[in-house]
Chain A
Amino acid sequence: MSDQLTHNIQFNEIVKPAPGQFHGGIHPAEFKSVSNTQTISTIDSPRELVIPLKQSAGLTATPIVSVGDKVVAGQLIAKKQGAISANLHTPLAGEITLISPKYAGHPSGMMSPTVTIQVDDDQDLSNQKSQGENLPKLADWTLCEPEELISQIALAGIVGLGGATFPTNVKLKAQSIETLIVNAMECEPYITCDDRLLREQPERVLQGALIAARATAANNIIFAIEDNKAEAIASLSTCIKKFSPAIPVSIVVAPTKYPSGGEKQTIELITGQQVPAGQLPSALGLVIQNVATLHAIYEAIVNRKPLTRRLVTITGNLVTKPGNYWVPFGTPIEYIMQIFSISQSDCKRVIIGGPLMGNSITNFSAPVTKATNCLIFNRPDPKEKLWLTSATKHDPCIRCGECETACPVELLPQQLLWFSQSDQWENLENQGLFDCIECGACAYVCPSEIPLVQYYRYGKSAINKIKQNQINAERAKQRFDFREMRIARTKAERALKHQKAAEARQKAAENKPADPTGKQTAINDALARVKAKKAALNEPAEHSSNPTNNKVD
């Protein structure tokens, strides 16, 4: 069954329909119109920022400020550590008041290191100048070498803003890239930040894309977008026509279907090809960048601005004015609730990200980070069965196979569940557990309301634990074997040493002259004389009194 475009899109030489399609997928209620009609604006400056030091994939950044330091907007506060990590800059001027572990939004409630900044008063966030232009000045980017662009992007602390937060500079270093795909699918319900950005600032995103293409030496750019974003498509295609870029830029429109924005699914839609298992998109000559990331690249290269804020969709039925807002990193969610007059008694939880792959947070002190693309403050309607936020007892799996028709990677979720429930780890892995992208389409369609993805996460962590145990056991075995070997070796060495010493002694004894000083001869002579004397004295008694002597001898 092939998917049809459901929205009316005018195709031309720039706007084309997607040639490929992916297996399965779902059509959840979109809730996009809640937030996508409002123009982008900024929120009022928060009083305090809590900036987590780990906001990217890889290693935590190392703070380079101390408590009491004054910082200016855009100042580097933590440096990346190792290859996969990202710089952090303060969005606002203020004073460092605390560097300590705090709650930073981890779903488990885990604490992580943060820098707390008391923000100076009177900072107008809508004023672009106050954002800080702290990066080195570059020449016209069209003349820059790719290395220069990439190092500027690394300095700016840019990471993949689609949610994966992988450092962009590392991704752009991929070799033999032909095509840059801009992921503007935004397939999760509620989220509209990329849509709004493309509608309002397509020229910035386009320039960001051209910069990224130059950095990777890609020779064409494809914007991948779902057909439910007609306005964004129109505004972007007008922009492309006006700009007439040096390399071909096209917009490829895919039918609205979750999870078309998954990297692998996007690639399948745009190219008709699948990324081979265990390889990166670069194996197909592709690099994928998200719309917001490209905007950040534009800001870093053209405006010298580090990444200190992002566009966040603030939405849900509890929000007074849902829409897309520029939010500085470190802004506590409770502050956002305050400005949007959301009372904590109404709102039991906030969803960070979308309802299908996001996190549910009940501690509102968590800050907005580079990964926060959407905040959903929703009071679930009891009549509406759509939301499922707490685990109830689920019905057994009847193997209806709905999940298998929904799975975008063609797994058999019903089999994964079966093996996961019965702890059959080897079978579970053979069924492709680690190919699961955890999109949640299977759980969405499950008639028995089985939280399938949690079963897979459980399986993944159990298998990883077993593998870690195996590695540990292997290491322990190696250590044990080495110890045994070492003991045996020392023993052998010692034995050899003893043997050699003994041999040496023996040799020495053999080689020694019989009586080098003549003492022994003197003693022997003396003894002989004594013996002779004694013999002379006892001579008369010898025959009569001592017959036993012979017997003893």
Chain B
Amino acid sequence: MSEKRPPTRRFSTIMFIIILVALGLSIAAFYQAIFAFANQEFATGSYFALIGIMGLTFLTYLLIQTRRKTLKLPIHAQRVATTILCQKCGFKNIRDFQRGDYILREAGECPKCNEKMIINSVYREAKEEKKGTQKLS
């Protein structure tokens, strides 16, 4: 289990050859289509144009599938907030979570009434769900 660089998808030689062949055929088909349309052969031109479009669609799909890219990191940094509350006067202090914080821990004296304050909450605010799913709730 040695340390490695961030993962990337590999680009295979066979896939590269397939892409090149598909690209060649598509370009040639478009050339033939233009040539046929110029000679008023609309059926032939449409056929070649169709072949060209299909070839390019296939090519785009392959490129999307095989492009070299660094994969999205699945570990998300989450902002966690700590709320310190004075139980007597209700004075509240919200700050970023610090190591050692825990719910119901004593957290010094209240600057207003000198009573003991406690950590009342430690939580993160998660992003809202996609609108499409909210409609069904």
A and B found bound together:
no
